[in-house]
Amino acid sequence: MHGKEDLRYEDCEETARWLLDRVQFTPDIAIICGSGLGLLADTLSNPKTFDYSEIPHFPASTVAGHSGQLVFGTLQHKSCVCMKGRFHVYEGYPLWKVTFPIRVFMLLGVKVLMVTNAAGSLCETYKTGDVMIIRDHINMPGLAALNPLRGPNDERFGPRFPSLWDTYDRDLRSTALEIACRLGRAELIHEGVYCMVGGPNFESVAEARFLHRLGADAVGMSTAPEVVVAKHCGMRVFGLSLITNQVAQEYEMQESVNHSSVLEVGKQRSQLLQDLITELVQNIKFTEDRQETA
């Protein structure tokens, strides 16, 4: 569908140079906005916006709720870049293409990646509209060798065998939980394990039961490949899942999930996510050689 080309460092460089020539600053933080969550990008000050279609080598977003724009600007006096819409395997893209922006972000100078997604709950204590801070993930396609690091490794991006044991930054997670308490929304916030499946269909009852027994608290169709590449590139990672539905684990349950309802929950919770991420960004301190949260 999208050709048989492979990842080339030179293409990432060309894209990064094209962007830097037009924004003239290097972002420290990248934020990926999932289904229905693009309003986060609208909080940036002095925004400079590019449609994906005009950026060299960038894929095109084809999913409703993903507007397909890259927005540069400042948030809490920090330089940021936001993706309004991401790319998915189910759209027909190879994984290196799905994660192409992450490698471009590395070349732009990004140090922290924040990922958001819409997910279904496998945990009976999570309610629709709750937010799950991602503690860890289960990358189902990755376990079957569908991994964005598959193929020849370019050491300029990262090592051949990166470790994922500490992928989701502990300090950022802890700070986010403290912020939720300060905002008076602690009852809506959980920490848990996100599971990525390939999609685009929602899960069968048997699949949902299987994933829950594996230890997954929420399931979606994105995020893990981006996070794997970010870790490979040496970035700190923070992830949030907005719980948009309960995944049916009993045949007697009424199936009600659809993409429209996912987008609607995103709209309802956009302010909470905006407040949480804005305060978290404010708490990130950058020094010359490392970053730490206050």
Helix (H) or strand (E) holding 181: helix 170-182
Residue 118 designated active-site: yes
Single out the catalytic residue among 61, 79, 222, 270.
222
**224 touches 168 (CB < 8 A):** no
**49 touches 70 (CB < 8 A):** yes
The residue whose two tokens read 């300060």 is 182
Single out the catalytic residue among 16, 30, 52, 66.
66
What are the C-alpha distances in Å from 26 to residues 42, 62, 145, 230, 265? 19, 28, 34, 17, 33
Single out the catalytic residue among 117, 139, 241, 245.
245
Residue 222 designated active-site: yes
Q: CB-hemisphere CA count at 13 Å for 57?
A: 24
Single out the catalytic residue among 14, 178, 191, 259.
259
Single out the catalytic residue among 16, 30, 35, 176.
35
Residue 288 designated active-site: no
Single out the catalytic residue among 41, 79, 88, 235.
88
Residue 41 designated active-site: no
Residue 137 designated active-site: no
Residue 119 designated active-site: no
- Please give the backbone phi and psi of residue 117, each rounded to the nearest 5 degrees, phi first: -155, 165
Single out the catalytic residue among 83, 221, 230, 248.
221
Residue 88 designated active-site: yes
Residue 201 designated active-site: no
**233 touches 102 (CB < 8 A):** yes
Single out the catalytic residue among 91, 119, 140, 212.
91
Which residue in 75, 16, 5 sits closest to 50, CA to CA? 16
Single out the catalytic residue among 13, 57, 67, 90.
90
Single out the catalytic residue among 30, 106, 118, 140.
118
The set of catalytic residues is 35, 66, 88, 90-91, 118, 221-222, 245, 259
